[in-house]
Amino acid sequence: MITPLLIRNSAWAVVWDAAGRHVFGRDLDILLRDGRIERISPHDPSSAPEPGAEVVDGRGLLVLPGLVNIHTHPTTEPGYRGVREDHGVPEQGMSGLFERSQAFRLDEAGREAAMRLAYAELMSSGVTSVVDLSAPFPRWLTVMAESGLRSWAGPGYAAARWGMSAPQTVTWMWNREDASRQFEAAKQVMREAEAHPSGRLSGIVFPAQIDTVEEEMLREGVAYAAETGRPFTTHIAQAIVEVQEMIRRHGVTPIQWAANIGLLTPRTILGHAIFVDEHPSVRWHTSRDVGLMAEHGASVAHCPSPFARYGEHLRTFGSYRARGIRIGFGTDVAPHNLIEEMRTALILARNAARDLAAATTEGVFHAATIGGAEALGRDDLGRLQAGAAADVVLVDLHHPLMAPPRDPLRSLIYHAADRAVRRVLVAGETVWADGCPTRLDVTEAAGILAESQARMLRDACGRDYRGRDGDEIAPLSLPMLT
C-alpha cells in the first residue's frame, strides 16, 4: 500500500482545466491516494492535514503532470555516448544509421547496463511513462518493472537487416522465416509484460522499420494491435535512403504506402516521420504525406536531437500540429532528457520557419504530456486532474536556474531542465528523489557499460564493410597528445 501524499499549498501547478487545456494554478492543495489524484483544491490555511498522508510543503514547488515519452531505445543508445554525436555518412544524407547498425552491437551485459542508466535519466527529466523499443533479452522486463515507471514494451521484429558494401550502398538482407519467429516471440513478451503484478507494464506492437518488414507482416501487425487493443508503432520516413528505397519498391513515399496498406490508424505512432514528400531533402512531386497522417489520425513521435546533429529536422513542429497531426515526444538517442528535447524542438521549428510562432512553450509541453498520452490511448496520463493517474513531477523553484519564477514552465524548459527536478512519482509512489532513483539499482551500470562499449568498438572490425574498428569509424573529437 502506497501512503497517500498531500502537496500542500503548491506555489505553482500546471493543471488540466474544464476547457481541456493546461493552465497555471497557484496556491493549490493536491492529494494523491490509491494511485490517483483524488482532489485539487485551493489551499485553505485553516484546514487540517489529511490523516495518515505524507505532507509535502509546496510553497517552493512547481507541480507538473508526468511527461510521456513515446519513442526510446534505452538498451542501446547510452552505449553510443562519445561515438554517435559527430558520426555520419555524407553519401547517405549525413545519417550514420545504416553504418552504425551494421558495425556496432552491445552485448547483453552492456544492454542491461545501458537500460538502467537510461531509465534513471528518463526519471530525472520528469518522465513517468515510456515506450521502450528494443530487441528483448531475458532481464528486459525485470529491469523495466524494477524502475517503477509506466513502460510500454515494444519488442522489435523484422524480416531484413541492413548491410553496406560501400558508403553509397545499403542492402537489405532478408530472412522471412526468422521474422515470423520474432513476431511470435514479441507477442509472448507483450503478454508477459501485461501480466506483471505491478500493473505498470504494457505492450506495443513494433515492426521495427517500414523498410525491413514486408507488407503481409505489417498488415498482420496492425491487425493484431487492433484485435488486442494495443498501440502500434514503426520507424518511417526516418532516412533519405529509406525513402528512396521505398519509392523504388512501390512508386510512392513510405507514408503513402503505409496509408495504402492500412497502417495509418488512430492507434498508430509513426517514429520520426520527418522525410515526407514535401521535405526539402526529399522533394518528391507530391504534397500528400502530412495530410494523410492527419486524415487517418496517426500520431508522430518527434525526436529532434538525432536529426539535428547532422543538420536535418522536421518541417515543422508547428506546421504538423496546425495541419491536424497529433505529436508526442521521444528521446531517440542519449541523453534521454525529454525537457531538453522540448527546448530543441522549439528552437529548430522557429529556425526552419523563420517564425517565432512556429512553436510555443505551450505547444511542446502539450506534446510531451497530452500528445503522448493520446497516442497511447490513455486519457488518464499527462494531466493534473481529479481522477487522473497520480504521475506527478515536483520541480524546485529555489533552484538558481528557475529564478525568477515569473513563468516557471519557460524557466524549466529553456533554462533549468532536469537540474531542477526534485521528485518524481508514478501512481503516487516516489521513483526519483534528490538526484537518485529510489528503486532502480544503477551502482555498477556505468562501469559495465564502459567495458561493453570497449568490446563493441573493438569487435566492429568483424562487421564493418571496410573492416574498421570503432575508433576508425568514429574517431575521437581531438587528436591524442604524441
Q: What is the pLDDT of residues 230-276, one digit of tens each?
A: 999 999 999 999 999 999 999 999 999 999 999 999 999 999 999 99
The domain that holds 25 is classified in CATH as: 2.30.40.10
Res 197: pLDDT:
96
C-alpha closest to that of 89 among 160, 164, 174: 164
Cis-peptide, bond into residue 316, ω within 30° of zero? yes
178, part of any domain: yes
Q: Are residues 167 and 214 in the same domain?
A: yes
Whether residue 148 lies inside any domain: the answer is yes
Angle between helices 176-194 and 215-228 (to 10 degrees): 10
- How many angstroms separate the CA atoms of 139 and 207, rounded? 21
Q: What is the pLDDT of residues 170-193, one digit of tens each?
A: 999 999 899 999 999 999 999 999
The number of CA neighbours under 13 Å toward the Cβ of 64 is: 31
CATH number where 232 lies? 3.20.20.140
Cell numbers that stand for 411 in this block: 524557466
The answer to whether residue 49 scores a pLDDT higher than 90 is no
Looking at the structure, tell me whether residues 10 and 118 fall in a common domain. no
Tell me the β-bridge partners of 270: 234, 300
Cell readout for 89 is: 555518412
Structure confidence at residue 46 as a pLDDT band (50, 70, 90): confident
Quick one: cell of 30? 493536491
164, 278: one domain: yes
DSSP string, 282-311: T--S---HHHHHHHTT-EEEE-HHHHHTTT
In this predicted structure, what is the pLDDT of residue 321? 95
How long, in residues, is the chain?
Answer: 482
Name the residue among 282, 309, 255 with its Cα closest to residue 97. 309
Q: What is the pLDDT of residue 50?
A: 79
At which of 351, 375, 399 does a domain end?
Answer: 375
The C-alpha atoms of residue 70 and residue 376 are separated, in whole angstroms, by: 8
Coil, helix or strand at residue 281: coil
Contact between 433 and 152 (Cβ < 8 Å): no
Q: What's the number of domains the chain is made of? A: 2
- CA angle centred on 27, ends 382 and 364, rounded to 5°: 30
Task: Assess if residue 479 is contained within a domain.
Answer: no
* Domain co-membership, 111 together with 260: yes
pLDDT of 133 above 90: yes
| Whether pLDDT at 429 is above 90 | yes
**What are 85-128's pLDDT values in tens digits?**
999 999 999 999 999 999 999 999 999 999 999 999 999 999 99
Of 261, 269, 306, the residue nearest 154 (C-alpha): 269
Residue 479 has what pLDDT? Answer: 95
State whether 42 and 72 are in the same domain. no
Residue 74, preceding peptide bond in cis (omega within 30° of 0): no
- Please state, in angstroms and rounded to a whole number, the distance separating the CA atoms of residues 13 and 384: 8
CB 284 within 8 A of CB 251: no
HEC readout, 164-220:
EEECCEEEEEECHHHHHHHHHHHHHHHHHHHCCCCCCEEECECECECCCCCHHHHHH
Residues 326, 418, single domain; the answer is no
Do the domain assignments include residue 448? no
82 shares its domain with 10: no
CA separation for the pair 76, 115 (Å, rounded) = 8
Shortest CA distance to 377 belongs to which of 163, 176, 229, 155?
A: 229
Range of the domain at 13: 5-65+385-437
**Within a domain: residue 480?**
no
Do 142 and 134 contact (CB within 8 A), yes or no? no
- Are 145 and 49 contained in the same domain? no
Q: Where are the extended beta strands (E) located within 66-174?
A: 67-72, 127-134, 150-155, 160-166, 169-174
Determine the Cα–Cα distance for residues 110 and 132; give it in Å rounded to an integer.
Answer: 16
215 and 331 co-located in one domain:
yes
pLDDT 10s digits, 390-416: 999 999 999 999 999 899 999 999 999
Clarify whether residues 132 and 179 are in a common domain: yes
| Matching residue, cell 484485435 | 227
pLDDT category of residue 327 using cuts at 50, 70 and 90: very high
Supply the pTM of this predicted model: 0.97
Q: Is residue 474 part of a domain?
A: no
Q: Is residue 415 part of a domain?
A: yes
Give the pLDDT band (50/70/90) at residue 1.
confident
SS3 breakdown of the chain: % helix, strand, coil, rounded to 5? 35, 25, 40
Judge if 309 and 400 occupy the same domain. Answer: no
Q: Are residues 298 and 432 located together in one domain of the fold? A: no
269: Cα separation from own chain's centroid: 11
Is the Cα dihedral 203, 109, 107, 112 positive or negative?
A: positive
Cα separation, 266 vs 284, in Å, equals: 26
Domain membership of residue 352 (yes or no) is yes
Q: Which amino acid is at 21?
A: R
Per residue in 53-82, pLDDT (tens digit) is 999 999 999 999 999 999 999 999 999 999
